[in-house]
């Protein structure tokens, strides 16, 4: 029953763009990438799994930080190359900088201005050497 | 005053992922790409401009359909490779299929199920040969 996976238009690297949106506030929390394995695991477990391009490995979001993402809904766009997830963000922190959202900078008068506070010092989020 | 453009991490093709989110409902309406020129025009004019990868040209969204996107806010993510825009969608239709959003399919029991109606027949949205 993997026909739904075949409807995804994987790019040349076998990836699809995945957007995590807070299921309640509807804020976009982060944007990352999934390969076939990570999308399969996301659907099967209800916990967001990505593909880390920088580390070139499967990335269960929150595995080190505890900031897991519980997935309430998965949507696919018309071109099949974008996934939008409705999620519940454990700890209320999606960004590796310790902020709620990775979209914490707003363009104001020709400058990117930080609008969001750091909720938790990243030094206290991660164990040494661990990723997001 | 283009320092803010230099903070964007353009990919190998000179593009950045751009997400258009309805400023009121917060629904994600579409996801596309921008190059430096289109992001500059978006910021300067307050109307969303993209880069069409399929047509390899600047794409003022709605130029043919009238479904312009008025931009209320631009945000940049922590990695600098994603833009999220708060927009007002003219005509209430962002998708080339004539639907409000490009995210009109939801995963249900192993199938992508269409959840959104076509609001306007695409044949009546576009002039012959025109794009989105």
* B113 located within any domain: no
Q: What is the pLDDT averaged over residues A92-105? A: 97
CA angle B52, A56, A3 (to 5 degrees): 65
Of B25, B99, B107, the CB nearest to A4: B107
* B63 located within any domain: yes
Q: Give residue B128's pLDDT.
A: 54
Percent of chain A with pLDDT over 70: 95
In A, minimum Cα distance to B110 occurs at: A4
What pLDDT digit, counting tens, does each position of A57-76 carry? Answer: 999 999 999 999 999 999 99
Contact across the interface for B7 and A112, Cβ inside 8 Å = yes
Whether residue B9 is predicted with pLDDT greater than 80 in this model: the reply is: yes
The alpha carbon of residue B73 and the mean position of all alpha carbons in its chain are separated, in whole angstroms, by 13
- Using a CB-CB cut-off of 8 Å, the residues of chain B touching A103 are 75-77, 82, 84
Whether residue B130 is predicted with pLDDT greater than 90 in this model: the reply is: no
How many CB pairs below 8 Å do chains A and B form together? Answer: 94
* A113 located within any domain: no
- Using a CB-CB cut-off of 8 Å, the residues of chain A touching B76 are 103, 105, 107, 112
Pairing of strands B16-22, B82-89: parallel
Q: Domain total for chain B?
A: 1
Which residue has tokens 């709605």? Answer: B62
Q: Which domain holds residue A46?
A: 3-92
* B103 located within any domain: no
Q: Are B99 and B118 in contact (CB under 8 A)?
A: yes
User: Which pTM was predicted?
Assistant: 0.94
* B120 located within any domain: no
Whether residue B126 is predicted with pLDDT greater than 80 in this model: the reply is: no
What is the CATH classification number for the domain harbouring B27?
A: 3.10.20.810
The nearest CA of chain B is from the CA of A9 a distance in Å of: 13
- Cα A4 from Cα B5, distance rounded (Å): 38
Of B4, B17, B96, the CB nearest to A78: B96
Whether residue A128 is predicted with pLDDT greater than 70 in this model: the reply is: no
What pLDDT digit, counting tens, does each position of A13-45 carry? Answer: 999 999 999 999 999 999 999 999 999 999 999
């Amino acid at each position: 029953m993997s026909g739904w996976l075949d409807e995804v238009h994987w790019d040349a690297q076998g990836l699809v763009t995945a957007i995590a949106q807070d299921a309640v506030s509807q804020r976009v929390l982060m944007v990352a990438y999934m390969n076939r394995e990570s999308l399969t695991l996301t659907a099967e477990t209800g916990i967001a799994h990505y593909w880390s391009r920088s580390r070139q490995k499967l990335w269960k979001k929150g595995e080190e930080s505890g900031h897991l993402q519980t997935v309430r809904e998965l949507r696919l766009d018309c071109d099949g190359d974008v996934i939008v997830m409705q999620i519940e963000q454990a700890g209320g922190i999606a960004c590796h900088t310790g902020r709620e959202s990775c979209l914490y900078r707003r363009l104001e008068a020709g400058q990117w201005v930080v609008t969001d506070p750091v909720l938790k010092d990243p030094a206290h989020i991660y164990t040494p050497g661990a990723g997001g």
